[in-house]
Homo-oligomer: A and B are copies of this chain.
């Protein structure tokens, strides 16, 4: 049994490989919900949907989000009423959100709905939103706070950040299944996601970080920073803007209290010694997932690494 902590696009590439490297029904994935927001009256849970669509084999691989072959008729029509929308959602993707929103209004929890949706799409891995509470991530900037989606999608992360706030996180509880997934796992793998805004919110849900510190499971992470830059998204700029070094080592430090094993790219081989001095075992491999073969190889290397630790 392996439990993964995941954001959206970066995590999904890794999970796609993991899903082929081991029985999918032995995988549980705890997913960030700090990006969740309501658009056009529907509740959008971007990371949950990216992970679900990826494991269902229907993700749009070019975009990294949404459903392959989806159309954008509804959003096009909505623009007649509201002008162009900066948040985009395909027609089939919208159906997932409509379905979720109606069930939420009827009193079902995000975790219950997520479970139904993944089963309906034939996904056998468990997908667990980190919490059923709404805990939107706020990005702090010199011009004031922004909802994460405004920062990320509307402004394409081109505004310098001064801090992050996970709203309501103190009162949030792990969604049903999250604690069990961590306690029952042989290994917990932190996917190569943004440590600040994808993994950060998961670790900030009360109880989760402490559980990862105390679990007997091997806790491993794959660095989302390779050769001093993030492969995808704003991890590098956010680290820099918050006064941190942009390096695989820096990310290891953020997870220092949890990690048993850290997987870094061959490009960062020279950092291995410094990271091992933090008390973390380092595995050096090819972590850039340019295609299915690389995804599978990274998943296998990760499984080997956590197995050898036990």
Contact = CB atoms under 8 A, between A and B. Distances in A.
B120 A81 contact: yes
A102 interface: yes
Interface stretch (A9-17, A89-97, A124-132, A162-170): A89-97
Contacts of A91: 71, 73-74, 77, 91, 94
Given A74-B98, A81-B120, 17 more contacts: A41-B101, A42-B98, A67-B77, A71-B71, A71-B73, A73-B73, A73-B90, A73-B91, A73-B92, A74-B74, A74-B91, A74-B92, A76-B95, A78-B98, A81-B95, A81-B116, A91-B91
30 contacts: A40-B98, A40-B99, A40-B102, A41-B102, A41-B105, A42-B98, A70-B73, A71-B91, A73-B73, A73-B91, A73-B92, A73-B95, A74-B91, A74-B95, A74-B98, A75-B95, A76-B92, A76-B95, A77-B93, A77-B95, A78-B95, A78-B99, A80-B120, A80-B121, A81-B95, A81-B96, A81-B99, A81-B117, A91-B91, A94-B94
A82 interface: yes
A91 B75 CA distance: 9
Q: Which of A42, A74, A99, A101 counts the most chain B CB atoms within 10 A?
A: A74
Nearest 3 interchain pairs by C-beta: A41-B102, A77-B95, A73-B91
Contacts of A82: 99
Give chain A's interface secondary structure class: helix
A40 B99 CA distance: 7
A297 to B, nearest CB: 32
Nearest to A56: B80
Interface string A108-120: 0000000011001
Nearest to A105: B41
A117 B82 CA distance: 10
Nearest to A71: B73
Q: How large is the interface on A (under 10, 10 to 19, 20 to 34, 35 or more residues)?
A: 20 to 34
Contacts of A41: 42, 98, 101-102, 105
Contacts of A78: 95, 98-99
Contacts of A94: 74, 91, 94
A74 B67 CA distance: 11
A77 B102 contact: no
Nearest to A40: B98
A116 B83 CA distance: 13
